[in-house]
A and B are shown apart, each in its own frame.
Chain A
Amino acid sequence: MTTVTMTVNGKSASGEVEGRTLLVDFLRNELNLTGTHVGCDTSQCGACTVHVNGKAIKSCTMFASDADGATVDTIEGQANADGSLNTIQQAFQDHHGLQCGFCTPGMVMAAAELLKKNPKPTETEIRDHLEGNICRCTGYHNIVKSIMAASGQDVSAIAAE
């Protein structure tokens, strides 16, 4: 076992890990940050998406030891300081961007990276960016609509609800 230390959602966090401990297991089991989900555990579904040093990655396919010293942001750190939903989260609520909610943490983290790089994405760019995030409920239309709305764009032209 070795000790890793990272800055998670703005706060320093340490814990003991094995070589094989995945970042998602460290977040969930050691730090009790269970908002990050494990869907497939094979880097297909994106439910475990978090940001490491500002970049969206699949935390089921990175070792915790490889994130030693890194800045990690998870869904728990996305809300505003007063606890209210941030713009992306609020848009998912307003536009019914989720049904069962299992994929939602990954969707929000993927969307956050996209809007940071591309503040006014087109519908095609949003769909391309979500290629590695699978949702089995919504059919994606309302997720795309939510992200479009979160970017401040008109959503009336997006496919039916």
Chain B
Amino acid sequence: MYNFEFVKPSSVADAVAALGAEDAQALGGGQTLIPTMKQRLASPSKLVSLGGIADMLGVSVSGGSVTIGGATTHADVEAADAFAGLTGLAGGIGDPAVRNRGTIGGSLANNDPAACYPSIALATGATITTNKRDIAADDYFQGMFTTALEEGEIITSVSMPIPEASNYQKFEQPASRFALVGVFVAKYADGVRVAVTGASENGVFRWTEAEAALSANFSADALADLSVDAADMIADLHGSKAYRANLVKVLTGRAVAAAN
């Protein structure tokens, strides 16, 4: 990998200032960025590690919501056990050593189309807080590896309303451990939200037909007559468009059954 300058500020303000340098890049846990840099697919001039900012660490629950600091690792989110769907999702990312480094902010900022966290953020209607503003999850995800974040903007925390019931089902691609398809189902008093990762060429998306059916009847049976349009699905050596479309329905049913 190409060399760069490494800095590790202890405050959000210092990190934002450091990111003002040309070609500077924020570093979360590095579980995606470091392999990317080894392949020379990224070559920042400066890396700004966010792991030393105490204000961006930890999980807190209040007023029916959980708030997670942007630099909090998957392992710490799992250990906090704020609600079942979140604990299960965080505890299934990568492997234990990856979970000890990877962060929620890094995952959401990268918005890999097969990452787990985008599904829970979208399904819970999370608020993504940066050094500049609050962004609703529905406005945040804008396609594969594309988000509402501006240059140099840092995710400082993520807040999720805690659902009445929730579950994440991941059909794992066994070599990468990313989601071949992942579905997060979240049930609230005012309705059900379903978000799908890994499947679409457009990145994470909400399956609105399933949301309507499940809001009326929170049972896997409610999905029986629905089907997922395969047109925008990803096709690769691991699965065709039709295969992924079918997995979306199967996993949604499993998530509902597990949440009940």
Say yes or no: A56-B100 contact (C-beta < 8 A), given A18-B3, A20-B1, A65-B8: yes
**B95 x A66 contact (CB < 8 A):** no
Residues in B neighbouring A44, C-beta threshold 8 A:
175
Residues in A neighbouring B4, C-beta threshold 8 A:
19-20
* A-contacting 9-mer, from B28-36, B123-131, B238-246: B28-36
Number of A-B contacts (CB under 8 A): 75
**How many chain-A residues does the 8 Å CB contact rule pick out?**
28
Chain B, interface size category, equals 20 to 34
Residues in A neighbouring B175, C-beta threshold 8 A:
44
Q: Say yes or no for A57: interface residue by CB 8 A criterion.
A: yes
Report the Cα distance A49→B100, complex, angstroms: 11
**B177 x A63 contact (CB < 8 A):** no
**A132 x B38 contact (CB < 8 A):** no
Residues in A neighbouring B95, C-beta threshold 8 A:
46, 131-133
Nearest neighbor of A129 in chain B, beta-carbon distance: B96
**B6 x A57 contact (CB < 8 A):** no
Q: Say yes or no for A33: interface residue by CB 8 A criterion.
A: no
Report the Cα distance A134→B94, complex, angstroms: 14
Q: Say yes or no for A42: interface residue by CB 8 A criterion.
A: yes
- Using CB atoms and an 8 Å cutoff, list the residues of chain B in contact with chain A: 1-6, 8, 27, 30-31, 34-35, 37-38, 47, 49, 51, 75, 94-98, 100-101, 175, 177
Report the Cα distance A113→B101, complex, angstroms: 14
Residues in B neighbouring A61, C-beta threshold 8 A:
30-31, 34-35, 98, 101
Q: Say yes or no for A6: interface residue by CB 8 A criterion.
A: no
Residues in B neighbouring A32, C-beta threshold 8 A:
none
From 3 to 59 in chain A, residues with beta carbon under 8 angstroms from any chain B beta carbon are 18-20, 22, 41-44, 46, 49, 55-58
**A56 x B35 contact (CB < 8 A):** no
Query: In angstroms, how far is the closest chain B Cβ from the Cβ of A23?
Result: 10
25 A-B Cβ contacts within 8 A? A18-B3, A19-B6, A20-B1, A20-B3, A22-B34, A43-B97, A44-B175, A46-B95, A57-B97, A61-B31, A61-B35, A61-B101, A62-B30, A62-B101, A63-B6, A63-B30, A63-B34, A63-B49, A65-B8, A66-B27, A66-B49, A110-B97, A131-B95, A131-B177, A132-B98
Residues in A neighbouring B47, C-beta threshold 8 A:
19, 63
**A66 x B5 contact (CB < 8 A):** no
**A68 x B8 contact (CB < 8 A):** yes
Report the Cα distance A19→B46, complex, angstroms: 9
